[in-house]
């Protein structure tokens, strides 16, 4: 049952994350997400068949934990007001939305600690902290890479880093991701208040 709750919060968190990217881009002058019908919380607009459904289910069945993603919200950097700063703000808005959702769920748990919803909501807190922290890792295509790439000068390293980012990310997930666990648990305990 907790796996199903984890999966549902993963989908919800990924959708809110992508919506936040689109909303922020829209506020910064780029209507691409709105024009593409992606500036919505309707899950159908954000679900990627493989990344949102198949991959998380396969991982839950195989490993007992899940990784997944929603369809990335498009934006056009040429429409942005500030072409250096705004991609960073768009990138950070997704993890910020997950952290805000985790805090809201944590406040509900603190207000009603003995409620039957406390356990499912605590899963939601954990999932959204996981999404926020994972997406802040500075490896393309994750959001943290937007900050790193903004400060790196144009070079072959930058282009190769973007080109091979997905391979580096897979390596990270299977070898180094475990080192994020203490940070995830620390933030979780701060929000839940245990």
User: What secondary structure does DSSP assign to 148-160, as a single string?
Assistant: HHHHSPSSHHHHH
* Closest to 70 in 3D by CA, of 97, 88, 89: 97
DSSP summary character for residue 120 = H
Q: How far apart are CA 92 and CA 68, in angstroms?
A: 19
67: pLDDT strictly greater than 80: no
Alpha-carbon distances, residue 193 vs 107, 126, 161 (angstroms)? 9, 13, 39
Q: Do residues 15 and 131 make contact, with C-beta atoms less than 8 angstroms apart?
A: no
pLDDT at 66: 66
Mean pLDDT of the chain: 90
160: pLDDT strictly greater than 80: no
pLDDT at 128: 97
List b or e across 46-85, with b for residues whose CB sees 16 or more CB atoms inside 10 angstroms.
Answer: bebeebbeebbeeebeeeeebbbbbbbbebeeeebeeeee
The catalytic residues are 18
pLDDT at 6: 87
* Average pLDDT, integer, range 63-83: 84
Q: Which residue has the higher pLDDT, 165 or 120?
A: 120
């Amino acid at each position: 049952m907790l796996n199903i709750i984890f999966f549902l919060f993963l989908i919800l968190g990924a959708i809110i994350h992508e919506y936040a990217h689109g909303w922020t881009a829209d506020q910064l002058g780029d209507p691409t997400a709105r024009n593409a019908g992606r500036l919505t919380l309707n899950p159908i607009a954000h679900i990627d068949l493989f990344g949102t459904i198949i991959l998380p289910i396969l991982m839950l069945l195989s490993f007992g934990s899940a990784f997944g993603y929603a369809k990335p919200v498009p934006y056009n950097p040429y429409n942005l007001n500030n072409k250096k700063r705004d991609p960073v703000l768009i990138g950070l808005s997704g993890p910020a939305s997950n952290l805000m959702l985790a805090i809201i769920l944590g406040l509900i748990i603190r207000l009603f600690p003995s409620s039957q919803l406390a356990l499912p909501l605590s899963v939601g807190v954990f999932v959204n902290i996981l999404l926020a922290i994972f997406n802040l890792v500075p490896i393309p295509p994750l959001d943290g890479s937007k900050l790193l790439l903004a400060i790196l000068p144009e070079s072959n390293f930058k282009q190769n880093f973007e080109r091979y980012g997905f391979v580096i990310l897979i390596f990270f997930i299977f070898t180094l991701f475990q080192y994020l666990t203490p940070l995830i648990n620390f933030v979780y305990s701060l929000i839940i208040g245990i």
